[in-house]
Amino acid sequence: MVARMKRILVNAEAHPDALKILEDNGLEPVYVPESDVEGSLEEARDSVGVVANASLSFDEAFFELAPEVKVIGRMGVGYDNVDLEAAGRHGVRVVNTPLSIIEPVAEHTLMLMLALVRRVVVGDREARAAVFRQPSNNPDFELLGKTLGIIGLGRTGLRVARIARLGFEMEIIYHDQRENTEAEEELGARRVELDELLARSDIVTLHVNFSPETEHLIDSVALAKMKRGAYLINVSRGAVVDETALVEVLRSGGIAGAGLDVYEEEPPAADNPLWELPNIIVTPHRAGFSTEGVYGSSMVVEDMVRVLNGEEPRFPVN
């Protein structure tokens, strides 16, 4: 009787090369779309690992349901859907791919910044309706020499800072728990308190992990401190921003606009008031995706194999 191969639940859009790596190591990848939560949980019962995105919640209930799981491979950098304490209690290692999403997220951030100030979406819509050279489609200010406030100056925030400083000569100020001497020496960046950043920045961009400390970090009080005419970019996690407060400030003109790739509820409800706002640009939580980014994130399987072979992973979360 041939022994059954150990199974890996693939619950994300992994590159074919990643599936081959699993197979070459005697593992059977079983793909279940992340939208199929029930099917994913059923498959997890017999799996030793999960290639994961953000949809499943890896909590105490999950680990009790799937006692054979030994490793969670989180594609990308975020792991707020993983209860690390519960994982530890069940002897489950968690790994991620913190380097693969740096470039696509940074480029997406700059894309949102440019699309907002150049009013690209409005311009596209009105050009199709033959509405040319009207005040409604006039671009806003140039990025050149403006102040960019970065909340969370980790790897991705630093890449955004480099593009903004070297490409657009923007002044960089940042708020972070840690001082970033590299950014300060190379880019002239200055670390400031959150209130100063909000008050001075022409554009505020968020690059923080989600945690109890960052939940609704940008609330009605914070939004009221932003410059009138400033823009907010969120490519981190939806709950870092109080959406209700954001809708109100955008309706009132307290800030000029916002670029959002993440939301408090994903996907947002059809009646979410965000959809009524003309001064936002929205994308479907795809900032971390690119051809190269998907490939790099898929290589989380290499660390999963290491864990299953009793070796230490390159990028451990716990």
Q: What is the pLDDT along the chain (318 residues), one digit of tens a residue?
A: 344 689 999 998 899 999 999 999 999 999 999 889 999 999 999 999 999 988 889 999 999 999 999 999 999 888 889 999 999 999 999 999 999 999 999 999 999 999 999 999 999 999 999 999 999 999 999 999 999 999 999 999 999 999 999 999 999 999 999 999 999 999 999 999 999 999 999 999 999 999 899 999 999 999 999 999 999 999 999 999 999 999 999 999 999 999 999 999 999 999 999 999 999 999 999 999 999 999 999 999 999 999 999 999 999 999
Give the whole-angstrom CA distance, residue 65 versus residue 67: 6
Rounded alpha-carbon distances, angstroms, from residue 144 to 42, 64, 130, 226 = 53, 54, 30, 20
Structure-block tokens of residue 300: 């989380």
Q: Any catalytic annotation for residue 266?
A: yes
Q: Any catalytic annotation for residue 15?
A: no
Give the whole-angstrom CA distance, residue 248 versus residue 265: 18
Q: Any catalytic annotation for residue 74?
A: no
For 198-244, where are the E strands, in sequence order? 203-206, 231-234
The architecture of the domain spanning 102-282 is: 3-Layer(aba) Sandwich (3.40)
| Cα distance from N-terminal residue to C-terminal residue, the chain | 37
Among 165, 237, 264, 302, the active-site one is 237
Among 142, 182, 265, 266, the active-site one is 266
Q: State residue 117's pLDDT score.
A: 98
For 129-148, give one letter per residue: b (16+ CB within 10 A) or e. eeeeeeeebeeeeebeebbb
Domain residue spans of the chain: 6-100+291-308, 102-282
Among 200, 285, 302, 306, the active-site one is 285
Give the whole-angstrom CA distance, residue 34 versus residue 11: 5
* Amino acid sitting at position 302: E
Q: Do domains 6-100+291-308 and 102-282 have the same CATH topology?
A: yes
- Using only C-alpha atoms, the chain has a radius of gyration, in whole angstroms, of 21
Best CATH choice for the domain 6-100+291-308 from the list 3.30.70.260, 3.40.50.720, 2.60.40.2130, 3.30.300.20: 3.40.50.720
Q: State residue 2's pLDDT score.
A: 41
